[in-house]
């Protein structure tokens, strides 16, 4: 991969996550499960987390979304695994900075990843308060459907 010429402005880390996504799948017996859903396209992102006293012990995601969603999920989970929950909340801005300028559709994909993570933390909190909630779901306010007549630029 070192001898591949990248398009101008392409972060080599993005290529790594395209080729080899990390933390994809479901954790067994997670402390929390969160889902972000685009009801117009039926795309979703699911996060499962295991927490320890000092932070995020393990984290996985799954999606039926596009390649952008997979890459962002992979990069985000790698960045926050083993870190504190507070660090992870701040990592959302750090990931956006790493990704650079995003198209409107890529921004929506990123927001779905981040919302699924936040939903997993809400699920952890709800379960700790005694609620019987299998997962917490956040529905996307925007859809990644490209309105007719617009392109992806």
pLDDT in tens, 104-147: 888 888 899 999 999 999 999 999 999 999 999 999 877 766 55
Distance, CA of 16 to CA of 75 (rounded, Å): 9
Tally Cβ neighbours within 10 Å of residue 86: 9
Q: What was the pLDDT predicted at 8?
A: 56
Q: Within 10 Å of residue 101's Cβ, how many Cβ atoms? A: 8
The pLDDT value recorded for residue 117 is 96
Domain map (residue ranges) of the chain:
12-138
What is the structure's pLDDT at 97? 80
pLDDT given for residue 1 in this prediction: 46
pLDDT at residue 137, as a whole number: 96
Average pLDDT over residues 16-34: 92
- Whole-model pTM: value is 0.85
pLDDT score of 25 more than 70: yes
Q: Distance (Å, rounded) from C-alpha 72 to C-alpha 78?
A: 10
pLDDT 10s digits, 45-80: 999 999 998 899 999 999 998 888 999 999 999 999
Which residues have C-beta within 8 Å of that of residue 147, sequence separation ≥ 6?
A: none
The yes/no answer on whether domain 12-138 falls in CATH 3.90.1010.10 is yes
pLDDT at 85: 92
**pLDDT at site 149:** 54
Residues in CB range of 73: below 8 A, 6 or more apart:
21, 23, 24, 45, 61, 63, 113
18 with 67: CB under 8 angstroms?
yes
Q: Residue 100's pLDDT is what?
A: 75
- Dist CA 13 CA 31 (whole Å): 29
Query: Given 3-state DSSP classes, what are the helix, strand and coil percentages for the chain, each rounded to the nearest 5?
Result: 40, 20, 40
- Which among 52, 92, 51 is positioned nearest to 73, based on CA atoms? 92
């Amino acid at each position: 991969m070192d001898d591949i010429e990248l398009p101008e402005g392409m972060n080599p880390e993005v290529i790594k996550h395209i080729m080899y996504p990390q933390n994809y799948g479901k954790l067994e017996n997670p402390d929390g499960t969160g889902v972000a859903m685009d009801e117009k396209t039926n795309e979703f992102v699911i996060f499962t987390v295991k927490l320890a006293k000092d932070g995020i012990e393990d984290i996985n995601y799954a999606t039926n979304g596009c390649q952008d969603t997979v890459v962002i999920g992979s990069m985000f989970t790698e960045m926050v695994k083993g870190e504190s929950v507070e660090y992870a909340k701040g990592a959302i801005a750090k990931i956006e900075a790493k990704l650079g300028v995003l198209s409107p559709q890529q921004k929506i994909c990123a927001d779905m990843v981040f919302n699924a993570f936040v939903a997993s933390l809400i699920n952890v909190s709800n379960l700790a308060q005694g609620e019987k909630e299998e997962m917490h779901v956040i529905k996307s306010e925007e859809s990644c459907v490209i309105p007719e007549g617009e392109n992806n630029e």
